[in-house]
Structures are given as structure tokens and as C-alpha cells.
Structure 1
Amino acid sequence: MNAHPPTLEAEPARSEPEGFYVEALARGLSVIRCFDEAHERLTISEVARLTGLSRATARRSLLTLSALGYVATDGKQFWLTPRILSLGHAYLSSTPLPRLLQPVLEEVSAELHESCSASILDGGEIVYIARAATRRVISVGLGVGSRLPAYCTSMGRVLLAALEPEALEAYLAQTPLRPLTPHTLTDPARLRQELERVRRQGYALVDQELELGLRSVAVPVRNARGRVLAAMNVGVQAGRVSREELMERVLPVLRQAADSLVPLLGV
């Protein structure tokens, strides 16, 4: 479930020779990505508009996905079927990271009585790969597969701070820093400074920049070589947990949990 309106990304740079790039596959994936919480059912024309494809191409893609069982239709509108979940499950079942993180997140959540999550960076967004929730602290429900902007989230800042300088500059050049609340940091120079501070101190605290009333702190999840593989955070209601309590009670538990994962994540 997406927590914000879809922004379909431009095609990634092609590193393979042109003959290895399958346009039909790329178009089919763009059709799948245009469905979300705000677009549960779409007509062919709407899919064409959201993806930038011609109506004929959108129709062929939808009918192919329908024949494969990933999309259903009533003849006018189309929607995703539960079979689409098998695509996400393929990632979760093929990488050990979510399986290793989940019990640790549950331990943190049980100790703090707060929601604890883990994510990775995908383009300009974070993607949740594991989560242990106790109560909803954000207006939109979050779960595995949910995506949020990286620049205004604690986990996103931890992951952005771990990027190589050229990768970070490319991110800042391509990403509009939209003010989601009056507190959102939208100046690129100030964001660079904040990310440098996150890199030095080893954690990120974000106070109501994603959503009013939401406060969170995140730490990096590293392997034995120090490479950042993911980020994990605890999110709280700002009216219930102060910044000071977040730093004094929550951050040490998060850090200890992240340290416990290092021997399990290899090199």
C-alpha cells in the first residue's frame, strides 16, 4: 500500500545493449505500478494517462496481465488480483534480510511498546521490508511493501546518509523536496547538512516532517564490513513521546538491536 500518490519514475538507464531490453516487459511493469490505494480500479484510458503509454499499448498490457491472472476486469475497469502478491513474496523469500530483521523488530516493539520497522532504499523512496506494529502512529496504514519519501523520513535519511557523494547528488538533483508539513526540510543545502550530521552521529531523528503528530528515530543496519544494508526505526506519537524520551529511552534500544544483527549479516 502506497502512503502517497504514485509518481511513476522514468525508465532507468540501460546498461545492457539495446537488444537485451524488453520493452513489453517494462511497459507491463509500469502498468502494474500505476495501481495503488488511490487508484484501485482503473480504465484503459486512465492507465494510459498514468503510465504515459498509448491506449492501445495499455490495453494489450492489461489484457496480457488479465490472461496471466494478475489483473481482473469487469469489461470496463481493471484491478489487481491477489496473485500480484507472489511478485513481492518472491523478493521476501529469496533474501534473508527480512527474515533476520523480523524477530529483532518484534523484540524492540515488545520492549518499547512502540511500532518498529525496517526499510531499504529504492530510487527516491524507502520500501518497508519488515515491520512490528503495536498501534497506528501515522494516518495511512503501513506494512511490508509500503513506500515513503526518503528525504523526510528517519529511515530515509539514514539510508541517504550512507550513499556515495555522487549518488546523493544525483538523488537531490532528481527529487523534488515537497513540504508535506510546515516542518518538512525542503532546502537542498540544509538537507545535505542534516545528512552529514546523521552520518556523523549514526542516527536520524525526524520530528513531524512526514506527517504532523509523527516523530521517529532511525539507525543503520550494517554488516560486519560496516556496509549499510537497511535502516530500522521506531515511530511514536509526538503528543505522547517527547524528543528527549525518544533519545534517552528509544535510541539506545534501537542501537543495541542493530548491533545484535551485525554477526548475522555476514560480510
Structure 2
Amino acid sequence: MEKKYWVPALEKANDVLQLIAEQPSKLKLIDLSKQLGINKSSMFSLLTTMEALEWVIREPESTYSLGARLGLVGNAFFKQFSLIDRFRKEAGVTKHTIQETIQLAKLDRTEVLYLAKEEMPAPVRLASEPGMKLPAHVTALGKAMLAALDETELDALYPEEALLPETTPHTIRTRSELKEQLAIARKQGYAFDLQEAVMGFCCVAAPVRDAQGRTVAAISCSMFQHEWEQKRELAQREICALAARLSQDAVQAGL
């Protein structure tokens, strides 16, 4: 990997964490300093910072072990795969009911990150592959997740009223218009994309919530505009039901 923008302090912190993970509750500051070739002053600063961040814990014997914060991060890492597995199982049934492709995504600031999809054969294949990102304001998925944020959080993500990036002539253009749509999505429990992301396609999405009621992802169904009026109510009903099942699974699993 190119190290043009490398941050040496992060690399050192990573090395410290790896060594502690290999030998939990066995290494003191001086041991870590010697084994990693980091002077004691720098090591003290690293460990003090990581202890404050709950990345590490200093034991009574002055040895170190991994902290609770890393446990939370690691747990979140594996939860996303658990959600994807559950999505594939549940959405595999729903896609045959609607006869359309179902997608799963999470919010990454002002973008939607696609995690998985259950695809139905179609003449035109949706470009929403796992790992792909789109502006949140142009997608039903994004609006379903943005609707869970409060006014302060939304203003932090969209600090200006200036025109938002446009992908089609139907794209929401201002923060005010976005907030109006989010208020509707928040009230009804689902969101629409009416040719806002891709011309000729409409979409409905609903949020997936964890055991604490927090929106952690969203699912959607996209289809050609000419099929939208025929399938709109069915898609809306099935997507909301699927989101509810995934949310219930998350509650039962304690996610």
C-alpha cells in the first residue's frame, strides 16, 4: 500500500494492539517499548491515549489487555455479516413475491453503501453492487435511514442549503426539500425514490432497526417505472414486512 498519506502514530498504535492481543495481561510498558522499538516516552503517550479511549486496559500489575471499546467495534464488524446472512435468507423469499431485486445498504455519512442484494433475472441489471456507493439523498434507502436522524445530525451532514448533487432531473436539490421528504418518510415508515437516482426506475425502502430501536440499515426494492403503478402497494407492503422481520431478528439476537 502507498504510504504517501500514512500516519505513523496509527501504525504504532496498531502494532501495540496486535502485540497486546497476542499476549494479553502479560506485557508492561517497558516490555512493549523494547519489543516494538518505541521509546518509553512515546509508548507512555500511546498507552495513556489508548487507555482513555478504552482501547486497552492497564491491569493492577501494570500489564495491558485489550479494552471494551475494541470489543464493541469487533462485535459491530461481525454483526454486519450476521445481518447480511439474515437478509439473504429472508429476502430470497420476498424477491419471488414481488418478482423484483431486493437490496440491503447502510448509511455512510451522506452516502449509501450497498451491502448485499437478492437479484431477480431482468433485461436490465441494477448497478447497485455490494461495495458501491450513491448519494443518500437520491435513493429511497438513503432517505429511509436519514429519516432516523434528528435536526442537528442532519444539519451536520448537510450544513448548507446550497444545491445538492443531481443525478437525474427528478433529484432533490435542496436541504429544505430533503427535510420535507424525510419528515414524510419518518411518519409513514418508508421512503420512495421516484426516478431520483436512475431515470426509468422507482424504488421503495424501509429501515432495519436494532434491539435499541436504532436504524442500522435499510432494504429496498427497485423496478421499472412502467411496473411501479402496478406493483407499488405490493412492494411497499412486502418491503416493510421484510424490514420488520429483519428488525425482529436483530432484537431476538440482541444485535
TM-score bracket for the superposition, by shorter chain length: 0.5 to 0.7
Alignment of 1:102-117 (within 5 A): 102-117=88-103
Q: Shift of the alpha carbon at 1:239?
A: 2.0
Alignment of 1:1-267 (within 5 A): 20-22=9-11, 95-135=81-121, 141-173=127-159, 177-242=164-229, 245-246=231-232, 248-266=233-251, 267=254
Q: Do 1:108 and 1:257's aligned partners in 2 also have CA atoms closer than 8 Å?
A: yes
What TM-score, normalized to structure 2?
0.64
RMSD of aligned Cα (Å): 2.8
One-letter identity of the residue aligned with 1:205: F
Q: Do 2:163 and 2:174's aligned partners in 1 also have CA atoms closer than 8 Å?
A: no
Cα deviations across residues 11-40 of structure 1 (Å, max 9, x unaligned)?
9xxxxxx984459x9xxxxxxxxxxxxxxx
Q: Do 2:103 and 2:117's aligned partners in 1 also have CA atoms closer than 8 Å?
A: yes
Q: Do 1:114 and 1:235's aligned partners in 2 also have CA atoms closer than 8 Å?
A: yes
Q: Shift of the alpha carbon at 1:165?
A: 2.5
- State the aligned residue count: 183
- Which blocks of at least 5 consecutive residues in structure 2 are unaligned? 15-76
**Distance change in 2, residues 1:218/1:140 (3 Å):** closer
Counterparts of 1:221 and 1:137 in 2: how far apart (Å)?
29
**Distance change in 2, residues 1:164/1:136 (3 Å):** farther
Q: Shift of the alpha carbon at 1:176?
A: 6.0
**Structure 1 residue aligned with 2:47:** none
Counterparts of 2:99 and 2:212 in 1: how far apart (Å)?
31
One-letter identity of the residue aligned with 1:196: A
**Structure 2 residue aligned with 1:32:** none
What TM-score, normalized to structure 1?
0.61
More helix by share: 2
**Distance change in 2, residues 1:237/1:92 (3 Å):** farther
**Distance change in 2, residues 1:19/1:165 (3 Å):** farther
Counterparts of 1:205 and 1:94 in 2: how far apart (Å)?
24
Q: Which moved more, 1:166-175 or 1:114-123?
A: 166-175
Cα deviations across residues 134-164 of structure 1 (Å, max 9, x unaligned)?
1458776222112111011000001111123
Query: Which structure has the bigger radius of gyration?
Result: 2
Between the two proteins, what is the percent identity of the paired residues? 26
- Which blocks of at least 5 consecutive residues in structure 1 are unaligned? 1-10, 12-17, 26-90
